[in-house]
Amino acid sequence: MALPGRAKLTHHLRLARRFLRHNQRFLCDGVSSENKESPGQARVFSGIQPTGVPHLGNYLGALENWVSLQDQYPSVLYSIVDLHSITQPQDPERLRTNIMDMVASLLACGIDPEKAILFQQSQVPEHAELAWILGCLTSMPRLRHLPQWKMKSRQKNEGSVGLYTYPVLQAADILLYRSTHVPVGEDQTQHLELAQDLARIFNNRYGKLFPEPCALLSATQKVKSLRDPSAKMSKSDPQALATIAITDSPDDIALKIRRAVTDFTSEVTYDPKARPGVSNLVTIHAAAAGIGVEEAVARARGSDTRAYKATVSEAVIWRLAPIREEVLRLRAERPHLEAVLAAGRRRARQLAAPTLQEIRRRLGFS
């Protein structure tokens, strides 16, 4: 029996939470036992850049986790980090649209502004002030060793000061709310280590204020590009068929998966090193259907990769259909989206302002 839009979305969210509980483990690394907070004191912080509508990899790799975490922790903040976005040139009108699209997408994916504080980073000025303070505690060699600076500055031949120092702003984002847990991918752990280091430096110099935040590492496999399974799925990929947006139509999804790179072996197996393309499809199928990789392979037994692509398409279309419907609905309700951000800004500042006031006092500013 077909479910109506909101009921369908609720059903999908329940399935996603069940899948995450059974197929993921979160690891808390890099924090000594005396710095770990009790469950009642735990606070989660994470941010996402306003690059418009998320893609399938964003949803399966991060946003499903976000939805799960808002039910597991007593205090959760999710920020649309528009200050970070301007490390690359932005068209102002496009940026405004992207911010609203991201708000609509997060709500459609299941972020509940009653459970989590959803806000726009630039609307909370304490982020920028704390970034300056922490920048004065950070050495240039420490920043030069971070991998993103090496990679992005090499791509651009030269990088801006903002690109160089944005890991300090990331640390400020986390520490401003005295966050204890940060969901990150493995490629972001060095940036979280900078936040941990800065928490220790500040605490040693000015007295204990910040907990050292620990990483929540998801066990979910990353979704790869459909055209180049050696790379992550990315909105910046020049190949239009490489990336599935959560608002793609069923026809677009089916076309992209049908054109996905596989290999010359027809059997469906899971071997990311030897068969990255087919394994990527298995990862997508398992996550979209809410099953394990082993079960996905078992269900494909007797099918060749061509038939299996149809199975994967069906699972992805089924999973994304209610989200797409909700994004399109919310896009038409801009006053509601602005109200969500305004409420989030007020709640975020209620937490941020006292922390920064105490920091100013300890530094001797007041």
CA distance 212 to 198: 9
**Where along the chain do its domains lie?**
23-220+333-363, 240-328
What pLDDT score was predicted for residue 146? 82
User: How many C-beta atoms surround the C-beta of residue 208 within 10 A?
Assistant: 11
Contact 182, 46 (CB under 8 A): yes
What pLDDT score was predicted for residue 41? 84
Contact 37, 179 (CB under 8 A): no
Q: Environment class of residue 278 by beta-carbon count within 10 Å: exposed (0-12), middle (13-18) or buried (19+)? A: buried
What pLDDT score was predicted for residue 27? 47
What pLDDT score was predicted for residue 151? 65
Q: Environment class of residue 337 by beta-carbon count within 10 Å: exposed (0-12), middle (13-18) or buried (19+)? A: buried
Listed residue (246, 264, 266) closest to 256, CA to CA: 246
CA distance 173 to 130: 8
CA distance 327 to 8: 14
Q: How many residues make up the chain in this entry?
A: 366
Instruction: Please state the separation of Cα 353 from the chain's center in Å.
Output: 25
User: Is residue 232 among the annotated active site residues?
Assistant: yes
Listed residue (232, 304, 321, 202) closest to 262, CA to CA: 304
From the list 36, 115, 152, 222, the catalytic residue is 152
Please, which residues bridge with residue 46 across strands? Answer: 78
User: Is residue 222 among the annotated active site residues?
Assistant: no
What pLDDT score was predicted for residue 84? 95
Type of residue numbered 214: C
Fold of the domain built from segment(s) 23-220+333-363: Rossmann fold (3.40.50)
Listed residue (67, 49, 117) closest to 345, CA to CA: 117
From the list 222, 232, 256, 273, the catalytic residue is 232
CA distance 354 to 308: 55
What pLDDT score was predicted for residue 158? 66
H/E stretch holding 184: strand 181-184
What pLDDT score was predicted for residue 264? 95
From the list 8, 235, 273, 309, the catalytic residue is 235
What pLDDT score was predicted for residue 16? 54
Each residue's pLDDT tens digit in the chain (366 positions)?
344 455 556 655 555 555 554 444 444 544 433 445 455 689 999 999 999 999 999 999 999 999 999 999 999 999 999 999 999 999 999 999 999 999 999 999 999 999 999 999 999 999 999 999 999 999 998 898 887 666 665 665 567 899 889 999 999 999 999 999 999 877 778 889 999 999 999 999 999 999 999 999 876 778 999 999 999 999 989 999 999 999 999 999 999 999 999 999 999 999 999 999 999 999 999 999 999 999 999 999 999 999 999 999 999 999 999 999 999 999 999 999 999 999 999 999 999 999 999 999 999 998
Determine the CATH number of domain 240-328.
1.10.240.10
What pLDDT score was predicted for residue 30? 41
Token digits of residue 252: 């677009």
Q: Could you tell me the pTM of the whole model?
A: 0.89
CA distance 232 to 219: 16
What pLDDT score was predicted for residue 1? 37
Angle at 338 between CA 333 and CA 96, to 5 degrees: 95
CA distance 104 to 111: 10
User: Is residue 235 among the annotated active site residues?
Assistant: yes
What pLDDT score was predicted for residue 8? 58
